[in-house]
Structure 1
Amino acid sequence: MRERYLLACALLCIAAGAEAAPKEAAEPLRDENGEPVQVGVFTSRWGRLFSGNEDVFSGALSFSSGLKEQWITIPDSSDSAEQKKKYNQTLNLSLQYSPYSYWFVNVTSRLPVTDTSRYTADFRYSFGYDDWHANTVSLVYSNYGDNRFWTSGNRRNTYFEQGAVTLAYKFSLPKPIENKLLINKGDSIICQVGYSWGPRYYDLESNDIRKNKNVLLSGCGYTFKQHFFVRATAFWFPDSSQQQPWNGDYSYSFGYAGYTPGSFSIQYANYSGTRYPGHQSGNAKFREGTISLIWFLPL
């Protein structure tokens, strides 16, 4: 029942956002060459949080909720923690600084809705160069690991070496193919291929830290009416032993994305251990995804 309630709220928010969109947004945002630009907030895990705007400072407040209860480690002091089964719900503040061109730094601070303390607050961060237009190259470092403002025991605030560097190339499809796939004038499809390298990573089987994790990725995104979107990315591990249970065969997301200050976005995203049919569980693990409601701050 709780999962159905969350999904119903998401659909209502999407409908409300569509009605509230300004009239001028009906015309698609285009680059200097007249090509449609895919825009949005939090629609990519390997680049800028705020695509489609060129502001030096950008920010967003968001609420995220899982669709099922999961076992979560909750630090309760500087040297202890407990395991608890609950819905993973967080309030998030995301800030991005883009000093020049498409260079950027962003940080997302997260605070659990329940079991709130200074030890349960964490953060994620990334920086690099990421142009959201087609036919461009991006180079981004990102760290979505266990980064804490206040640490437990002898742990560090962040393990920089356990982040990942991703080199990717975005491209548009050939016009004859693209024209057959687009539903409306002004819609856009942008794809990307990339390579991600992690200097260090945790290996569950050996319960140890390993070196040099390599991942190849390829995916596409479709933006409908400049706001509605669906994204999918496939991953391939040249060394299959490096793929951990939480590393998916693919990821996917969809929703409604605003890109102007003061606008709202709603999205579902799944970056969990998805598996293709015939590979282990062969499960898309939809209920292990996350629904997020996002407010693009009018800075």
Structure 2
Amino acid sequence: MQAGVFTSRWGRLFSGNDDKFSGALSVTSGLKEQLLTIPNGSESAQQKRKVNQLLNLSLQYSPYSYWFANITNRVPIADASRYTADFRYSFGYDDWHANTFSAVYSNYGDNHFFPSGNSRRTYFEQGAFTFAYKFSLPKAVEAPLLINKGDSIICQVGYSWVPRYYSLKDNDIRANKNVVLGGCGYTLKQHFFLRATAFWFPDGSQQQPWNGDYSYSFGYAGYTPGSFSIQYSNYSGTRFPGNGGNARFREGTISLIWFLPI
């Protein structure tokens, strides 16, 4: 399915865009207050409890076929300054049709236009290289699962490698984080969607408190330039029963997205 350019941490593998240039303007909001560290200078920061609300501008360039480069610029709606503005980026090859392969690099870490202290603008080595295969279910399996004629299900399996990552237990940078992933997305009446992805860490010590066992999202998307999308997503700290973490619904975020008419 096509889902524009505003993608979640793992949603890139379910989405794509046929336009050479595309963009989206969105507002995201958490559902509860949380303690946030807010930089307010090149050498200083404050901690504050608030609902994390962001204004995002996402831009994508696809020069050929399903090759793409994507950047999302983020600014807090409150406490906005050059030090609180950050960005996320990804690039690679992502054919969103079934029975195709994807190779994507994505970085959703500590990327700041104006970093504090001696921090770098981005830590490329802490991004993820993800390789995945998308596929359709066999007709005999898919047909009983579809609610309406014209609905569709697409699934994926993949592997993600992070060269360097922060370990909370060690309070240090460690090497070679490995994640195996698999999931499916259901499209209802061509616009409503539900996606879920599960993650397995071959080395359980590499899974950090913010790394979920699974992620999920659902909502409505218009897809065409000038249309709107609204979605809920939850992927941080979601854990299966007995594995700790916090999978409450209020830990997720709501996004209102406008696909720019460009």
Counterpart selection for 2:233 from 247, 250, 269:
269
Determine the structure 2 residue equivalent to 1:234: 198
Counterpart for residue 116 of structure 2: 152
Match for residue 207 of structure 2 among 210, 218, 243? 243
What is the DSSP-based 3-state SS (H/G/I as helix, E as strand, rest coil) of the residue aligned with 1:40?
A: coil
Q: Determine whether 1:162 maps to 2:126.
A: yes
| Cα contact 1:97–1:104 (8 A) shared by 2 | yes
Residue pair 1:43, 1:49 contacting (<8 A) in 2 also = no
Decide whether the 8 Å contact of 1:273 with 1:285 is kept in 2. no
In structure 1, give the amino acid aligned to 2:49: K
| Distance in 1 of aligned mates of 2:194 and 2:232 | 10
TM-score, structure 2 normalization: 0.97
Residue-by-residue CA offset, 1:216-261 (whole Å, 9 max, x unaligned): 0000000000000000000000000000000001000000011100
Report the Cα distance in structure 2 between the residues aligned to 1:51 and 1:273, rounded to whole angstroms.
23
**Structure 1 unmatched ranges of 5 or more:** 1-37
3-state SS of paired residue (1:147): coil
Distance 1:153 1:44 in 2: 29
Rounded to whole Å, the distance in 1 between the matches of 2:129 and 2:114 is 25
Aligned mates of 2:8, 2:66 — CA distance in 1: 15
1:120 alignment partner, one of 84, 96, 107: 84
Q: Equivalent residue for 2:2?
A: 39
Say which one has the larger Rg.
1
1:295 matched to 2:231? The reply is no
State whether residues 227 and 256 of structure 1, in contact with CA within 8 Å, keep that contact through their aligned partners in structure 2: yes
Q: Secondary structure of 1:248's partner?
A: strand
Match among 90, 101, 105 for residue 141 of structure 1: 105
Q: Distance in 1 between matches of 2:251 and 2:165?
A: 22
Partner of 1:253: 217
Identity in percent: 79
Correspondences of 1:174-213 after superposition (within 5 Å): 174-213=138-177
Deviations, residues 24-78 of structure 1 (Å, cap 9, x unaligned): xxxxxxxxxxxxxx22234553465994541100000000000011111111100
Cα distance in structure 2, aligned partners of 1:49 and 1:97: 17
For 1:294 and 1:65, the matched residues in 2 are separated by 12
Q: Give the structure-1-normalised TM-score.
A: 0.85
- Cα distance in 2 for residues equivalent to 1:165 and 1:278: 29
Which residue matches 2:53? Answer: 89
Letter in 2 for 1:291: I
The separation in 1 between residues aligned to 2:129 and 2:28, in whole angstroms, is 26
**Alpha-carbon shift at residue 79 of structure 1 (Å):** 0.8
Match of 1:214 in 2: 178
Find the aligned partners of 2:30 and 2:169 in 1 and give their Cα distance.
26
State the one-letter code of the partner of 1:285: R
Q: Which has a greater percent of strand? A: 2
Whole-angstrom CA distance in 2 between matches of 1:139 and 1:49: 9
Give the SS at the match of 1:249: strand
Which digits, 9 at most, give the CA deviation of each residue in 1:55-110, with x for residues without a partner? Answer: 10000000000001111111110011111111000000000000000000000000
Q: Report if aligned partners of 2:9, 2:108 keep a CA contact under 8 Å in 1.
A: no
SS of alignment partner, residue 226 of structure 2? coil
Counterpart Cα distance in 2 of 1:134 and 1:50 = 10
C-alpha distance in structure 2 between counterparts of 1:71 and 1:107, whole Å: 26
Is residue 2:37 matched to residue 1:73?
A: yes
Letter in 1 for 2:76: P
Q: Which has the higher contact order (CA 8 A, sep 6+)?
A: 1
- Taking the aligned partners of 1:280 and 1:216, their CA distance within structure 2 comes to 20
2:66 corresponding residue in structure 1:
102
- Check whether the contact 1:270–1:288 (CA below 8 A) recurs between aligned residues: yes
Residue 169 of structure 1 deviates from its aligned partner by: 0.3
Structure holding more helix per residue: 1
Deviation at 1:165, TM superposition (A): 0.2
- One-letter amino acid matched to 2:160: S
